[in-house]
Structure 1
């Protein structure tokens, strides 16, 4: 298994009048095709760490390497390109554009990347919807979908550019139990059947136990990193 994500003493401190430490000295490695859960109490730095791993925020100390590339040496444009090409993001709330159909929401990352024609983009978006059980909802607006369906569209959008790494921040946190299971099962399938690397922040310890490994944070520091049980 090749290493996809490597951090060394990754740290994020907010430069307030009294500095606030969000993440401190986190060193970890995540391999290709691995399913990893980040757990910890509220305010422990779970989402802050995920944002650092997704290059959505910049560390104040330590290093981050994604697929062999030193993110600290990149310009903002290079980091944006890295996110677009190699990463997909799923958040607790779907953040779909309300005026766009399910298909057109999924098309947005592909349009930004600019590698496919409009016809190819539409075909891939529709294929992703079909693969996630939403083939009958291609032209529906987010307001015409249930919460679970909207979140599945968000997962499809995260897969638009076929990223190696998916980062999910409490993706089932706003869903009922049935929809939560559907979304989590999709993430499992992406790891087991497609070889994606998935890092998920979750407060649900039952779901965390279904991943390959759990990374537990307390006060921004790594408390344990062990196989899920």
Structure 2
């Protein structure tokens, strides 16, 4: 495994309240380049909560998350936002594509937010990404004109918009039929094998997890297992 892209050091996430709820409990894990990692565990075990901490969408109550060796709890919110835009891409179970925008506009959003490319290059890259995933002819459509599997492919294209080294996916196949599940899984695998990305995916699908390189198994917010998987060629 290469040097860590993301490292969680004793992270804990507690929801305050009359009865505080511990979502993540003292988890330490290191994630390197080119890994294909499943986060598994029972419903409500803290899988997504851990992913959101790794993705800087939530802040830990205790501990720290490091991105390329740099503490993120010491960052300002503006610095964390930039780190998310440049280093991390996100795919969610319910794609969260903006319904009033075309596919091109949806994929362009992270690039516009980052502000590194001129408008013409942003549109050219959005078009290229959609074409790469077999969606070029649909680029002017809105999300409601696509199937569930197609919408998730757009979500993956959007996650790649700023060419981040890490893609974080939260139950990306959870709302799909079996055929679309296989297609999206193969796409995520290609992100690792073809594009050289690191992919970390929360999944309840044990069979899919077995086909990934590594599994982090979470129980009651704690990391119970961190195991390498034997994947058939």
Q: CA deviation at 1:213?
A: 0.3
SS of alignment partner, residue 16 of structure 1: coil
CA distance in 1, matches of 2:188, 2:158: 13
Instruction: Describe the superposition over 1:45-84 as per-residue Cα deviations: whole angstroms up to 9, x where unpaired.
Output: 0000000000000101111101111101101111011001
1:166: which partner in 2? 167
Q: How does 1:1-229 map to 2 (within 5 A)?
A: 1-229=2-230
SS of alignment partner, residue 73 of structure 2: helix
Deviating runs (4+, > 6 A) in structure 1?
none
CA distance in 2, matches of 1:107, 1:227: 36
SS of alignment partner, residue 100 of structure 2: coil
Give the TM-score normalised by structure 2.
0.97
SS of alignment partner, residue 73 of structure 1: coil
Q: CA deviation at 1:210?
A: 1.1
Unaligned stretches of 5+ residues in structure 2: none
CA distance in 2, matches of 1:123, 1:136: 14
Instruction: Describe the superposition over 1:99-151 as per-residue Cα deviations: whole angstroms up to 9, x where unpaired.
Output: 11111100011011111111111110011011111121111111111111111
Unaligned stretches of 5+ residues in structure 1: none
CA distance in 2, matches of 1:91, 1:210: 20
Give the TM-score normalised by structure 1.
0.98
Tell me the matched-pair count: 229
SS of alignment partner, residue 93 of structure 1: coil
Instruction: Describe the superposition over 1:12-48 as per-residue Cα deviations: whole angstroms up to 9, x where unpaired.
Output: 0111111110000101111111111000000100000
Q: CA deviation at 1:184?
A: 0.9
SS of alignment partner, residue 72 of structure 1: coil
CA distance in 2, matches of 1:224, 1:185: 25
SS of alignment partner, residue 6 of structure 1: strand
SS of alignment partner, residue 198 of structure 1: strand
